[in-house]
Structure 1
Amino acid sequence: MVQTIRIEAVARERAGKGAARATRRAGQVPGVIYGAKREATLIALDPRDLIKELQKGGWQSHLFEVAVRDGATERALMRDVQFHPVTDRPIHVDFQRLAPGQRIRVRVPVAFLNEGSSPGLKAGGVLNLVRREVEVQADPDAVPERFEIDLGAAEIGDTLRWSAIRDHFGTQPVIADRDFVVATIAPPTTESAEAAAGANLPPPPPEAIRQKAPAAGATSAPGGGKGGAKAGGKGGKK
C-alpha cells in the first residue's frame, strides 16, 4: 500500500498574489490546503522538502500529512504544482484535504512483469503502452503503489486490459463502462522484420558479383600509357 509522507509547513495569514510573492521572496513556496467542506488553509513550505517529494515520482498518488506549525496536521493529496517558466522551480502547491471515509481519485502506475520470458517479445514483438497509469477511485489508506500485469505468456497480437491486472486492491477504475486497454503486444516493425529476414538469407553466388564500371573519363585501353609515351618519344625525335 502507499506510504504516508509527513511534510512540514507554516501557516500564512494573507492570500493574494502580493502575499504569495512575499512568501517566495522569503525563500518559501506558498500553498493551500482545501476541501472536505472546510475553509482553506494557507501554508508555506520549504522548497527543499517539496522538491525532494516531487523528484520521487508518483507524487499525485502519495498521501501526505501536512504538519502545520501551531496548527493541526492535515491528511491530504498533492493535487497541483505550479512551476516557474524559466527556472522550473515550484512556485505554488495545492493540497486536497481528505474527509473521513472519503474515497479519492488517483493515478496508479502500471508495472509489467516477466518481459524477458514473453513469447511475443522474444519473437520481436513490441510492448505498446496505451496507459502508463490507470486512474481509479480508492480508499485513502489502501492506495496501491502500482498495478502489475504479467507478460510471461503474452503473444504477438495480445491485448492486455484492466482485467489482466493481477490485483485491483479494492479500487474502481474511473472508466467503468468497459474493460479498457492498458497495453498491446504489437508485431515487429517493417524495418526490423526485413532486417531479420535478411539476416537469414544465404550469401550471393560468386557469379552474381560484378566489377564496377570504370569511372567516366578513365583510360579504357590497357596500353594507353605506353601509346602516350611512344607518341611523346616520336615527337622528341622530330
Structure 2
Amino acid sequence: MKQLLLEAQIRSAVGRSDVGRARVAGSVPAVLYGKGETNLNLELVDKKNQSVMFTPGIFNTLIKLTIVGDTPREETVMVKEIQRHPVSEKILHVDFVKISMDRKLETKVPVHLEGTAPGVKEGGILELVHRELHIRCLPAMIPEFISLNISALAIGDAITVAQLPLQEGIEVLVDAHEPIVHVVAPKAEEVKTATDAAAGAPAAGAAAPVAEAKQPEVIGEKEREERRTEKAKKA
C-alpha cells in the first residue's frame, strides 16, 4: 500500500494559551500516541505538511513520520483523529498513533462499486448497505479501498461479505452472510402508481379526451325572454 511522508517538530509548549499562540502563528498542534509509551507533543509547522491531512483515505493510510528535534527519528504512524474548525474546515489538532508493522490492527476501508447492475435497468433499486467495512490485518496489507463489480446483479441479487475478493490475511469484522450491496424490487406502492399512471394515459395516436362542450351565452337573449314573459302576463 502507499505510504505518505510527513515531517513534524517536537512541541515543548503544551498549555492551552501556548497551543492557541501556535495556531495563530500557523502551526497545527499534534500528539503521537504509542502503546505503553509516553505521549509525544508535536506540531506541523508548514502548509506542505498540513496539506497531507487532506489526503483522501488518510485514516487508513500509513505515514512515515520524521520527527525533528534534538534527536531526530522516524516512526510509522496512522492518523487517529483530526479536529477541524466547524465552519472553515481548518485543521485545529491531529492525533497520530504509532504502528507496529508486524502487529495486526483494525481500521475502516471504503467500498467502491464498478459497473452497472442489470437489475437497475429492469426497474430495481441498488442499495449500498455498507459504504465502508471494518477490517483487521497487518498494516502493509491495508487496501486503499475494496472494489466490487456489480455488473451481474439482477433484481434480488446481492454481494455478501463471504463473496468479497479480498487478499488472504484480511479479515472483515462483519457477519459473512451480511449483504454489502444488493438490488431490490421497487415497493408495491411505487409499482401501483406507475401502473395507474400508464393506464390513465391515452394510447399512442389516440386523441386526448375533450371536455363537454359548453353552450355559448347569447347576448340579450335573457332580456328578450323576460320581455316575452311580461307581455304574456299582461295579456
TM-score when normalising by structure 2: 0.80
1:135 paired residue number: 134
Partner of 2:65: 66
CA–CA distance in 2 between the matches of 1:225 and 1:47?
Answer: 88
Match of 2:148 in 1: 149
Q: Which residue does the alignment assign to 2:209?
A: 209
Matches within 5 A, 1:43-82: 43-46=42-45, 48-49=47-48, 52-70=51-69, 71-82=72-83
CA distance in 2, matches of 1:230, 1:202: 45
Secondary structure class of the residue paired with 1:24: helix
| Aligned counterpart, 2:94 | 93
Shift of 1:110: 1.1
Q: Distance in 1 between matches of 2:180 and 2:125?
A: 14
1:104 shift after superposition: 1.7
Query: Residues of 2 paired with 1:80 and 1:90: CA distance?
Result: 11
Residue by residue over 1:130-172, the C-alpha shift from the partner in whole angstroms, topping out at 9 and shown as x without a partner, is 1111011121112111112221221111232112212245211
Q: Does the aligned pair in 2 maintain the 1:111–1:146 contact within 8 Å?
A: yes
Partner of 1:217: none
Give the CA RMSD over aligned residues. 3.2
Deviations 1:63-116 (A, max 9, x none): 11111123211110101011123322110000010124121211111122222x
Aligned to 1:236: none
SS in structure 2 opposite 1:23?
helix
Give 1:202 shift: 5.8
TM-score (norm 1): 0.79
Structure 1 segments, 4+ long, off by >4 Å, are 196-202, 204-208, 228-231
Label 1:106 to 1:14 Cα distance change in 2 as closer, same or farther (>3 A). Answer: same
Residue 18 (structure 1) shift: 2.5
Q: Label 1:92 to 1:199 Cα distance change in 2 as closer, same or farther (>3 A).
A: same
1:163 partner SS: helix
The number of residues matched between the two structures is 224
Unaligned runs of 5+ in 2: 226-235
C-alpha separation in 2, matches of 1:58 and 1:11: 26
Map 1:83-232 to 2 at 5 A.
83-115=84-116, 118-175=117-174, 178-189=176-187, 190-191=189-190, 194-195=193-194, 198=197, 203=203, 209-211=209-211, 220=215, 222=216, 224-227=218-221
Q: Pick which of 191-200 and 140-149 moved more.
A: 191-200
Identity rate, percent: 24
Q: SS of 1:225's equivalent?
A: coil
**3-state SS of the aligned residue for 1:141?**
helix
Distance in 1 separating the partners of 2:166 and 2:176: 18
Q: CA deviation at 1:56?
A: 3.1
Partner-residue secondary structure (3-state), 1:19: helix
Give, in whole Å, the separation in 1 of the partners of 2:108 and 2:219. Answer: 81
Residue 223 of structure 1, CA deviation: 5.6
**Distance 1:169-1:44 versus aligned 2 partners, 3 A rule:** farther
Alpha-carbon deviation of 1:46?
3.8
Instruction: Tell me, in whole angstroms, the C-alpha distance in 2 between the residues paired with 1:208 and 1:22.
Output: 75
